[in-house]
Structure 1
Amino acid sequence: MLLGNQGQSSYLQTKIQASTAVSNNFETNLKLHERVAIEVNLLELAITEGHFEKKARYSKKSIEILMTLDTSLDLENPNELVINIHNLYEFCIARIFEASKDLDATKLSEVKTILSDLKDGWKSVAEFSQ
């Protein structure tokens, strides 16, 4: 591999940073939801196939993205919607941790459904804000 894992990771991180720099908050949230969906799918596959190193990496990345999404919420002045989204993010983080710890990919099905619904919501907001 030309770049190696570290070089490829740095390239992807730079690409994400450059891409999100020109996006508004709704588009950024949408991109993060798309990315976390990919990471959760990879986590599910790693658990199913018994790839423990990959499982740890995808679990960590999924949780990091969800924590980033959660910190983007205005919890200083929350309304009911913000609190509900915050609770959903926390639930997903807990389920990902449990799935990884217990090596139980079935625990990710709820997470995938919730994340899909949230992504659809952010997509609607992003389209409406344009």
Structure 2
Amino acid sequence: MLNEYDPFNAYKQTALDAQVAAATPHDMVRMLLEGLLEELERAAGHMEHQRYEAKGMSIHKCLNIVHGLDSMLDLENGGEVALSLHRLYDFCSRQLVSASVENSAEALVPVTQVMTNVREGWTNLN
């Protein structure tokens, strides 16, 4: 097991901090979407291997990312696109909670599908 100070993780965190500092809002959303999809995979693995504490932390991270994406929406000026994204993020939040309660990796699949579609749409904007 690695000690509390892991130079590799410190390096990764420094690199991530540098990316975030230089990110445009478009880049930030892209990074959040990528991070969410990666964390969904981890959460599914934790569920499948019955690592309940790790699953809880992964679901918590996923919820934080979804709420972060939702908070970036401009519902007053974003029109139908912002409202549709808000509804998708709400669906994903509810689905994440349900998947966690049921301890069902299968219940994460719709979230992964929705967020993959959102990421593809976001990527095509660039």
Q: TM-score, structure 2 length as denominator?
A: 0.88
Alpha-carbon distance between aligned partners in 1 of 2:25 and 2:87, rounded to the nearest angstrom: 20
Q: Deviations over 1:29-78 (max 9, x none)?
A: 11110000000111011111100011011000000011111101102324
Q: Residue 25 of structure 2 corresponds to which residue in structure 1?
A: 25
Q: Residue 119 of structure 1 corresponds to which residue in structure 2?
A: 119
RMSD: 1.9
Cα deviation for residue 14 of structure 1 reads 4.6
Q: Deviations over 1:88-114 (max 9, x none)?
A: 011111101110111111111110100
Alignment of 1:42-121 (within 5 A): 42-121=42-121
Gaps of 5+ in 2: none
Q: How many equivalent pairs are there? A: 124
Once superposed, which parts of structure 1, at least 4 consecutive aligned residues long, lie more than 6 Å away? Answer: none
Gaps of 5+ in 1: none
Q: Highest relative contact order (Cα 8 Å, sep 6+), 1 or 2? A: 1
**Identity over the aligned pairs, expressed in percent?**
26
Equivalent residue letter for 2:55: K
